Amino acid sequence: MLFQITYQDKTTKTDIIEDDALEKILKTLTTLSLKVDSMGNEIEKLKTNEVKLKFEAMTQIKAQAVGLCYGKKWQRLTISQDVVDLYKANGITNMGVPDPIPETLIALKGSNIGIILSIPNDNLQALTDPNEAYKWVVDNVISYIAQQVITKFRLQNRVKVSTNIENRLLVNTILPSESIFRKDVSSSINPIIEFLKQNNASLLANFYPYSAYIREPDRIGLRYALFTKPKANPSGYYNLFDAMLDSVYYAIENAGGGNNMEIIVSGSG
């Protein structure tokens, strides 16, 4: 299981991301991670009550795993058994949940579908308080472990905490190896990268090749955006998705995050 802490501006489509939002994310990451680690005793109590748990983190999912986000950001949708059956019938093994709605989590009981729980923007400030972070974990994780809804974690009872980014935080992406984080966000994003590195956590990233094509059709060919380009471009890429992914890897490395941090693609379209 993975907590995803997000920030998206609801009112504008500009590329501006406020520094204080990134600072809130970093503080929430730190606080929530500490509180999650302190859940060990609670989890052990559940295990002694014959709730047999084997932990499997989303951070262990490799490229062959397929997930699908259910619902849109800021849209509270509950799921039915039909939705769960549709996921399973199509081999979709993971679900992104934009808001931890109790009815949704209960519906996943026994499905073996992995979950990424997003923390809504409105909760960021509150979760910088250790007591609020503890309560959030108890309400949205521990209680569902007890009900065997959340049954698979790994990493010795650790639940990973991360956040997600988009390529709009990067510059110099035409040549991925030269990609870096924008100067106006680097002072906030660099500590987040360091936090994830120190905690051996993955970074989540959203890539939208078709949206990029719509914005720059003269620079980005349609076939390049849709994985149908027959020949590689001068940089050696056959599709924009791969170039976007490599851009983030290089930006992380250029920010001092090393070359071993795993990236989970948490959204695309």
Predicted pLDDT at 152: 40
Which residues is 206 bridged to in the sheet? 166, 267
Quick count: other Cβ atoms within 10 Å of Cβ 106? 13
Quote the CA–CA distance of 118 and 105 in Å, as a whole number: 13
Residue that is written with structure tokens 């609801």 in the block: 10
CB atoms within 10 A of CB 136: 23
Helix then strand then coil, in percent of the chain rounded to 5, is 45, 15, 40
Tens digit of each residue's pLDDT, the chain (269 residues) = 454 544 444 433 334 444 555 566 566 655 555 544 544 444 444 444 333 322 222 333 344 567 887 765 545 566 778 888 888 888 888 888 877 778 888 888 778 888 888 877 788 888 888 888 888 888 887 777 655 544 444 333 455 677 888 888 999 988 999 999 999 999 889 999 998 998 888 898 999 999 999 999 998 999 999 999 989 998 899 999 999 999 999 999 999 999 899 998 888 87
Place of tokens 């983030």: 248
Dihedral angle, C-alpha 147, 138, 118, 7, nearest 10 °: 170
Q: Strand, coil or helix: what is 267? A: strand
